[in-house]
């Protein structure tokens, strides 16, 4: 097997997304894991993982996301879900991240500043059993869900090293423990948020949604070519108790129409519900 330094990984199950085109680059390995043996591409190497046969499509997708180096040969992997259109070679992003010395690059959550707010967005105020199961587990792991600190994961960059693999393993363990045969734990980005905070010593590069609203990458609607529109984008200055700085990759020009806000309405709604008499 030819070994690449850099890999891009995506995953499509049950035809849940388009396999989007990507610019060829001899320095980058493109991997798509799927359950569709008829999927074809001039750029992506198609892998049908028989170990995932018969699994819930969401569950299988997240298994791939959190086991990147089962499929990729690179030292660094950019994971993109099926909603991300790659418009230019990501080699400059790989090289800048590689030279930074960070272990992982993650995107702050543009909907909510806290896990509490993100749980409200996904689960709502009424599915108390589902929410409480998650909250109890996070408490056992020492996580305060009301503190600022929440990511989203349409794209992440990770090294193949012990700390990143430990973080991915914990993310997957949380997802696995909270899922059933019929229902995959959501939102999985909360599991990864918890795992990142719990993995001590991890060197983190933080980016925001401007990366995937840029001339290199475009966030699209699932299974459609149309661009995804953000109604509001929340600024983050902390990840739990740590001050953070949002990294801007050199040479990337973002959509100037993005509107940023200091506070998410969902946090207000969360506290209103939970502080109600």
- pLDDT tens digits along 130-157: 778 898 999 999 999 999 999 999 999 9
CATH number corresponding to 6-274: 3.90.550
In sequence order, the β-bridge partners of residue 9 are 31, 79
CA distance 244 to 239: 7
Q: Phi/psi at 273 (nearest 5 deg)?
A: -65, -50
CA angle 191, 197, 201 (to 5 degrees): 135
**38 three-class SS:** coil
Report the predicted TM-score, pTM, of the whole model to 2 decimal places: 0.90
**pLDDT average, residue stretch 59-83:** 96
Looking at the chain, the whole-number percentage of residues with pLDDT higher than 90 is: 66
Question: The dihedral of CA 197, 200, 202, 205: what is its sign?
Answer: positive
B/e letters for 70-96, b = 16+ CB within 10 Å, e = fewer, are ebbbbbbbbbbbbbbbbebbbeebbeb
By the 8 A CB rule, do 23 and 88 touch?
yes
How many CA within 13 A on the CB side of residue 233?
19
Report residue 217's pLDDT band, with 50, 70 and 90 as the boundaries.
very high
Count of CB atoms within 10 A of residue 187's CB?
Answer: 21
pLDDT of the residue at 76:
98
pLDDT of the residue at 22:
95
The conformation of residue 200, written as its DSSP 8-state character, comes to T
CA distance 252 to 86: 13
pLDDT of the residue at 186:
86
160: left (phi over 0), alpha (psi -120 to 50) or beta: beta
Tokens 């995506």 identify what position?
10
Peptide bond into 187 cis (omega under 30): yes
Angle between helix axes 265-274 and 115-123 (nearest 10 degrees) is 80
Write out the H or E segment, with its range, that includes residue 85.
strand 84-86
Q: In the predicted model, is pLDDT for residue 258 greater than 70?
A: no
The pLDDT tens digits for 17-38 are 999 999 999 999 999 999 999 9
CA distance 36 to 17: 12
Closest CA to 11 of 30, 27, 38: 30
The pLDDT tens digits for 168-205 are 999 999 999 998 877 888 889 999 999 999 999 999 99
Question: The dihedral of CA 252, 256, 259, 260: what is its sign?
Answer: positive
Two tokens, residue 45: 């190497």
pLDDT of the residue at 1:
47
């Amino acid at each position: 097997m030819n070994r690449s330094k850099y890999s891009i990984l995506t995953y499509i199950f049950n035809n849940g997304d388009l396999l989007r085109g990507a610019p060829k680059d001899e320095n980058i390995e493109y991997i798509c894991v799927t359950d569709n043996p008829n999927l074809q591409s001039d750029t992506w190497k198609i892998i049908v993982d028989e170990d995932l046969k018969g699994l819930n499509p969401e569950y299988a997708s997240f298994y791939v996301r959190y086991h990147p180096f089962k499929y990729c040969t690179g030292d660094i992997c950019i994971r993109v879900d099926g909603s991300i259109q790659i418009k230019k070679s990501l080699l400059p992003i790989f090289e800048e991240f590689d030279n930074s010395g960070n272990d992982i690059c993650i995107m702050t959550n543009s909907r909510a500043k806290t896990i509490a707010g993100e749980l409200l967005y996904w689960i709502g105020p009424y599915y108390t059993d589902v929410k409480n199961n998650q909250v109890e587990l996070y408490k056992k792991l020492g996580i305060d869900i009301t503190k600022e600190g929440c990511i989203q994961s349409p794209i992440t960059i990770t090294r193949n090293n012990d700390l990143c693999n430990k973080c991915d393993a914990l993310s997957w363990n949380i997802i696995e423990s909270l899922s059933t045969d019929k229902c995959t734990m959501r939102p999985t980005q909360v599991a990864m948020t918890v795992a990142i905070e719990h993995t001590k010593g991890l060197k983190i590069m933080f980016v925001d949604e401007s990366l995937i609203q840029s001339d290199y990458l475009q966030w699209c609607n699932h299974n459609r070519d149309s661009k995804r529109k953000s109604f509001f984008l929340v600024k983050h200055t902390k990840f739990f108790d740590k001050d953070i700085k949002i990294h801007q990759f050199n040479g990337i020009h973002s959509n100037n129409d993005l509107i940023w806000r200091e506070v998410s309405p969902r946090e207000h709604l969360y506290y209103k519900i939970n502080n109600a008499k």
